[in-house]
Amino acid sequence: MFTGLVITTGSLRLRSEQLAEVSCARTPERVLQDLAIGDSVAVDGVCLTVTEILATGFVAAISPETIRRTILQWASGEHIVNLEPSLRVGSKLGGHFVTGHIDGVGYLDEAIQTANAWEISFQVPDPRVSRYIVPKGSIAVNGVSLTVAECNATGSWFKVAVIPHTYAETNLQNLQPGSPVNLEGDVLGKYVEKFLRLRSTESDAIDALEVGKMGELANWMSGSGEVINPAFLAEHGYL
């Protein structure tokens, strides 16, 4: 679990289709302090497991699914990535709950500098991501916790306001129009969606069951001569 508050940046290169090497030579102590093999680190918002610790970085395992779902599918050479160690019990939660499980990829539309912030907009063609984008909701862009300032009805386009400090300390400053980014929707929205879907499904199932039970009751009553009253219904499991 992460918060979306990036602590530093590093450079990533793929050693193979299964391993990524991350160097954080600028401020290695911010990442390597207390880091152990088996720990999780969010790399551009992707939760990766550390398999080897280096002098100024680490090696992490990656899966085919991770590559397919994230901007790692276009990785070549070295590129700058945002880094955040996993959330410790008792630590401050300054962003929002970020799982590190990327939903899909979006693309930079434009970045405009204003007096107090950078207004950055993205295109989101993947409905697996856009469905969770709502006004004033949380979104993780390359692992950075941001608030949706504006979006269209489907969530296929949204805008965020990024303060100068966040812009300067993350790789958001390196994006160009069309650049792909990792996107993770708010996990709370995913649970709400599932509960509503299950509630609807369960309601339909209960309605169908009750219709079936009442049909059986009507068929039985047609030849029994019994009188339907509260006692009868309770005895036969209808109350």
Token readout for 86 is 């996993």
Domain 8-85 belongs to what topology?
Elongation Factor Tu (Ef-tu); domain 3 (2.40.30)
What is the C-alpha separation between 217 and 206, in angstroms, rounded? 16
Instruction: Write down the domain spans for the chain.
Output: 8-85, 104-186, 191-235
Report the range of poorest mean pLDDT among 24-38, 121-135, 210-224. 210-224
Q: What is the pLDDT of residues 150-162, one digit of tens each?
A: 999 999 999 999 9
- Reported as type and span, the H/E element at residue 53 is strand 46-53
Residue entry with tokens 């129009």: 177
- Judge if 8-85 and 104-186 fold alike in CATH terms: yes
Provide the pLDDT for residue 14: 93
Q: What is the pLDDT of residues 178-214, one digit of tens each?
A: 999 999 999 888 888 888 777 766 555 555 555 556 5
| DSSP codes, 132-172 | T--TT-EEEETTEEEEEEEE-TTSSEEEEEE-HHHHHHSGG
Residues in the chain: 239
Entry pTM: 0.81
pLDDT at 92 over 90: no
Domain spanning 104-186: which CATH class is it, in words? mainly beta
Provide the pLDDT for residue 175: 97
Provide the pLDDT for residue 188: 85
Q: Which amino acid is residue 95, in one-letter code? A: G
